[in-house]
Amino acid sequence: MKKILYKKDGRIGRITLNRPEKLNAIDDDIPNLLQDAIIKAENDPDIHVIILSGNGKAFCGGYDLSSYAENKEFNNVYQGKNWDPLSDYNFMWGNTQKFMSIWRCPKPVLCKIHGFAVGGGSDIALCSDMIFMAENARIGYMSTRVWGCPTTAMWVYRVGAERAKRILFTGDQITGNEAAAMGLVLKSVPENRLNDEIEMMANRLTSVPINQLAMQKMVINQAVEASGLLDTQKLATLLDGISRHTPEGHNFKKRVEEKGWKQAVDERDKGTFDWTNNSSFTDR
């Protein structure tokens, strides 16, 4: 089964994350395949706009913790005590820049969020130009509590410093309504209207010449990039690797191996486990 689907639909390019059995979680292949699909749409002279979505119950559940955290073997996300910062950085920087192919694409990319877009899934979504989100969907980066730092660093550029801190200090997920109210996403609508809303916008943009769309995106993106986006992403990517190899990061990985990623993540997100001492608060 293809992990990324691409379909040309008149002047619309449709890119779909397609690991529904894993909630479209990110593995080693997804970043490359996503970038390939974006470039394919970018190079098609008929495509004016791209719609990015996910199959199944959610847009994207983030990085695949069953592979990267639960797995006791060496992998690209966790190297244990023999952590090589440069190797880690190169891998994650590669993923970050592949997600950023969405941002660099001269054609508008509209993202449709249902279910949830969390962790690395929020990284992907926040690189897009406009986000339409179901009211009951959730977005967040829970691993800022332990084991992560959002490498695309788009939160602060979308909502400003204070609101970004509110989300990233807590690791809380917020609903579509909350996300729209703070300006993180363009629009939040009932889930049964989500398709209609994004299709209306996509069809509206198909009537605009591709070169006009590209010029507007170039100017707006330049304003963001001039404020230091690239350097911020480099720092975020470096810190993401560090966060997975701190004492607390090692303890989280050990807990995932012992109890499974679902229990470890639940303890992390509810704040019921002390990662510094590797013990449950309830056992004291």
Q: Looking at residue 144, what is its pLDDT?
A: 98
Instruction: Tell me which of 50-59, 88-97, 206-215, 250-259 is least confident.
Output: 250-259
Asked whether residue 41 is domain-assigned, the answer is yes
Residue 255 lies in a domain: no
pTM: 0.96
Residue 126 has pLDDT above 60, yes or no: yes
Which pLDDT belongs to residue 81? 82
How many domains does the chain contain in total? 1
Assess if residue 174 is contained within a domain.
yes
Decide if 199 is inside a domain: no
Residue 278 is assigned to a structural domain of this protein: no
- Is residue 125 situated within a structural domain? yes
Residue 265 pLDDT exceeds 80: yes
- Beginning with the edge strand found earlier in the chain, give each strand of the sheet holding 109-113 in spatial order: 4-9, 12-17, 49-54, 109-113, 130-134, 187-189
pLDDT, mean over the chain: 96
Answer yes or no: is 104 within a domain: yes
Q: Does the pLDDT at position 220 exceed 70?
A: yes
Q: How does pLDDT run across 92-120, given as a tens digit for each residue?
A: 999 999 999 999 999 999 999 999 999 99
pLDDT over threshold 70, residue 284? no
Q: Which CATH number characterizes residue 179's domain?
A: 3.90.226.10
Q: What is the DSSP track for 118-164?
A: ETHHHHHHHTSSEEEEETT-EEE-GGGSSS---TT-HHHHHH-HHHH
Q: Residue 257 falls within a domain, yes or no? A: no
Per the structure, the complete domain to which residue 50 belongs is given by: 4-194+204-245
